[in-house]
Structure 1
């Protein structure tokens, strides 16, 4: 039998659904900051769109002083900006909610990270101007399909308040990790909204429209809303900023280890500010020790951390991890349960067995 060389072994995305394609990243295999497009998680509401990129133009219209249509070539001439950004699905870790909630049962891999290059949205809006009555910026994608709750045919569309849309770090991206954005991740243009859950980063941008009222599209007013109560919509509010969070990449949950020295490692991220501390507990939260950062800490980017654990006691052990950001946000002991299962960020917890 022919020996399989280790170099031929490749990690694959974990399939959650095929139509539309939803696959998560095998988070334990990620070592670098720039996740390859082959391991970048995929989140879709509809099938992939069909459109002619050779005749691609981006119109900006609505409550502006002068509507304008940009060619892709023109957009490429503007001064660019490159940002390292975490993109996390709002449903990341949905599988961990108790009681369970309906929806794609994402585990810990609906998250990826890389470098996005593009032009600030506000640069394009300078050419059109904003009417005094302008309230929100709606970005519509080419992806379109039928909603199961209404049987309505809709494009995936989201809006941003003016403050976020005009932030210099909100960009219309055309490159990922130094190459044109892969088609499955939004080619040729994708909105990147750093610090917000990834539903805001609309793929395959079709048009941008400035409106004078609150956007009521279903992916804004029905989905991507926190519903704290199971049987009513009271106290609901929109999903926006990424919660402070962390994940253990090594060891795996329920893994069997030998006594000795082990490296515990993982990533931490947040939507506001940057990660300032990651703590670990090996005694069910009675005491906590600081982990070491093994990468830089930056706004919008994830941070790698590690901890060296010397263990001589056999048996079952629980490992807890919690992250803190520069705004003082700390992972809570329990998540904020909500009916659609968004924003899970409870203290990371795994079990291992020492033999």
Structure 2
């Protein structure tokens, strides 16, 4: 290597499974508001589908006045909008539940953020019309596979209540960060649903069906439900909006630091309103101090950066804690709501450090 050539060191995704491919974003190294596609987390239920580019079509049918089929060129010709938003897997931070739960043991990187461009679904439905009977809208992807629990093959399909489906910011996206959506993230089009967990943003979208009843597909009625009890289904409720949450990005857990001034730095996000404050504690939650927030006022769906100057004068071991609050008054709890599938973990964020 030439003495003037610098070694380029890059972070990498952490693999949780190979087939289907599930990988975490190196979120603690991502200090940009828009995550490059190569670092965007991957969450799949089945192997990647085979899609013929030239044969792409999106059909809209069911409780509509005029069933229609749209080509990609049709979508590109319609009025578009861009949505900058957090996308978080419902299982993000599952590894931190106590007692432990089964499933991909995501830590804090099953989330990313970027800018999606596409057509508002409400705009498309102007062409098809909607009957008064519509209750939900079902979105079906090209991906499918075998489910052992049901002894059969199923496509990935999810529904939204009609009010959420026709929200102007629910879009059929064809670009991510100014480029066509990468294949592994849903090319050529995917649904984008701000403020809901990532399972709602169906990838490789092939069909939209408006229905007058409740959709009961397995990824709606079995998976992505909060089950409060280990051995029965009493009290189950659907997983929808993102919980208010935060993550300490720096310093890292179990870091060894010198005495002096350190910046405690992180992100906070929510599925309702925006982040109103983030507090940190250095004494196991006895007292809390407010942090400095850095918000993108043009992105009501993005995460908020925050920082706090810590004057570490005494040597010893410390637990640094952070909790976020949103404009709806929701605050991170001391303990996450335990549920047997491990969704929605949002307990107070913490790291342990040693001052030497």
Normalised by the size of structure 2, how large is the TM-score? Answer: 0.98
Partner of 1:354: 355
Partner of 2:311: 310
Q: How far off is 1:299 after superposition?
A: 2.0
CA gap 1:2/1:98 in 2 versus in 1, 3 angstroms: farther
Partner of 2:221: 221
After superposition, where does 1:2-151 map in structure 2 within 5 Å? Answer: 6=6, 8-151=8-151
Equivalent position SS for 2:343: coil
Partner of 1:327: 328
Partner of 2:212: 212
Normalised by the size of structure 1, how large is the TM-score? Answer: 0.98
Query: RMSD of the TM alignment (CA)?
Result: 1.2
CA gap 1:147/1:285 in 2 versus in 1, 3 angstroms: same
2:105 and 2:310 map into 1 onto residues whose CA distance is 31
Partner of 2:302: 301
What are the superposed Cα offsets for residues 61-113 of structure 1, whole Å, 9 maximum, x if unpaired? 11111100011101111111111110000000000000000000000000000
Q: How far off is 1:3 after superposition?
A: 6.6
1:92 and 1:6 map into 2 onto residues whose CA distance is 35
In structure 2, list runs of 5 or more residues that go unmatched. none
Equivalent position SS for 1:54: helix
Verify: 1:281 aligned to 2:285, yes or no. Answer: no
After superposition, where does 1:250-265 map in structure 2 within 5 Å? Answer: 250-265=250-265
Partner of 2:246: 246
After superposition, where does 1:163-242 map in structure 2 within 5 Å? Answer: 163-242=163-242
Residue pair 1:136, 1:161 contacting (<8 A) in 2 also: yes
2:18 and 2:243 map into 1 onto residues whose CA distance is 28
1:114 and 1:77 map into 2 onto residues whose CA distance is 23
What are the superposed Cα offsets for residues 31-76 of structure 1, whole Å, 9 maximum, x if unpaired? 1011011100000000000011112111101111110001110111
Q: How far off is 1:350 after superposition?
A: 1.0
Partner of 1:340: 341
| Count of equivalent residues | 355
1:91 and 1:177 map into 2 onto residues whose CA distance is 24
Q: How far off is 1:6 after superposition?
A: 4.9
1:163 and 1:291 map into 2 onto residues whose CA distance is 36
Deviates more, 1:3-12 or 1:150-159: 3-12
Q: How far off is 1:7 after superposition?
A: 5.2
Equivalent position SS for 2:77: coil
1:313 and 1:147 map into 2 onto residues whose CA distance is 55
Q: How far off is 1:321 after superposition?
A: 0.1
